[in-house]
Amino acid sequence: MSTAPLKSATQAELIEYVNTQAARIQSMQATVDIDTSVGGVKKGKVTDYQQIRGYVLARKPAMLRMIGLMPIVRNRAFDMVSDGKEFKLWVPPKNRFVVGRNDIETHNPAQPLENLRPQHIYDALLLREIDPQIEIAVMENDFEIVTDAKGHKVQQPDYEIEVIRKGEHGWFLSRKIMFSRTDLQPHRQLVYDQNGNLATDTHYEDYKDYSGANFPSQIEIWRPQEEYDITLTIVKLQLNEPLPDDKFVLQQPPGAEVVHLDQPQASETRGSPGGNNR
């Protein structure tokens, strides 16, 4: 818990901050350490996976590529790309090439990596602007329960911007952006689906200056419906460097097993290696 003096801001100032930051960052190229865990109440256990090194490329409006490397040998553990609508995922250790759509959710407990959608990563990394044409923003003075140095749970004041969005079936709570009162930076974002279910819970920590832009050096992404958690720790970050289209091309490798997630799948019996149950 921070003991720094609390800062104040208006609703207009917080919205302007979100929109200014969204406009300032058009692309990113990052070297990251990736920590992953899968499971929870639904699965009945949590499996932690060994930390791996990886690379993340993102370019607006919706392009993303993420590569994970195997520990020590640094061969590719996975490689995935997305154009915002469709995605491709290559898993060399399993010789599987997965093709699907970001808007179709498929939960495969035997292949937890295949539950990951590049769009979830993109939306967590790059905060979208608040669009007054289709969104209404409301500020709330609230607090977050945190743990102090002695292990006690205490209330820490924050600001929350609740974004109400116009969808196909009417208005719905799209997301909540929570700002710390000690630095007025976004430290958490909750994203909801149109049925009011929490879809993504992202925490942003340890902001640093990268080429004149404040950006969190640790980003934790929790997907409660699929029960997976990914933490990205920034090792190196370049913002607004040109990223040509060929950086987001992933070809199907010869001989790979091709899986189309928008088609019925046979039940999987093989688990994912490399995990330690807890």
Domain layout of the chain by residue ranges = 11-269
Backbone angles phi, psi at 248, to 5 degrees: -115, 30
Amino acid symbol at 247 = K
pLDDT for the residue 107: 65
Q: Above 70 in pLDDT, residue 265?
A: no
Residue 264's pLDDT is 55
Residue type at 118?
Answer: P
User: Measured between alpha carbons, how far is 76 from 68 in angstroms, rounded to an integer?
Assistant: 6
Model pLDDT for residues 35-91, shown as the tens digit of each residue: 999 876 666 667 888 899 999 999 999 999 999 999 877 899 999 999 988 999 999
Q: Summarize the confidence of residues 232-243 as an average pLDDT.
A: 97
Residue 274's pLDDT is what?
Answer: 44
Alpha-carbon span 116 to 190, nearest angstrom: 17
What does the pLDDT average to over 232-244? 97
Task: Answer whether residue 172 shows pLDDT above 60.
Answer: yes
Q: What is the pLDDT of residue 273?
A: 38
Output the pTM of the full model.
Answer: 0.85
* Cα dihedral 104/193/113/236 (nearest 10): 120
Does residue 270 register a pLDDT over 80?
A: no
Q: In this structure, are residues 98 and 106 in contact, taking their beta carbons and an 8 Å threshold?
A: no
Assigned CATH for 11-269:
2.50.20.10
Residue-wise pLDDT tens digits, 190-236 = 999 999 999 999 999 999 999 888 999 999 999 998 888 999 999 99
What is the rounded average pLDDT for all residues in the chain? 87
pLDDT at res. 177: 98
Whole-number pLDDT of residue 108: 63
Q: Rounded to whole angstroms, how far apart are CA atoms 110 and 1?
A: 38
Q: Evaluate if residue 144 carries a pLDDT over 60.
A: yes
For residue 261, which amino acid is it?
Answer: L
Can you tell me the mean pLDDT for 236-258?
Answer: 95
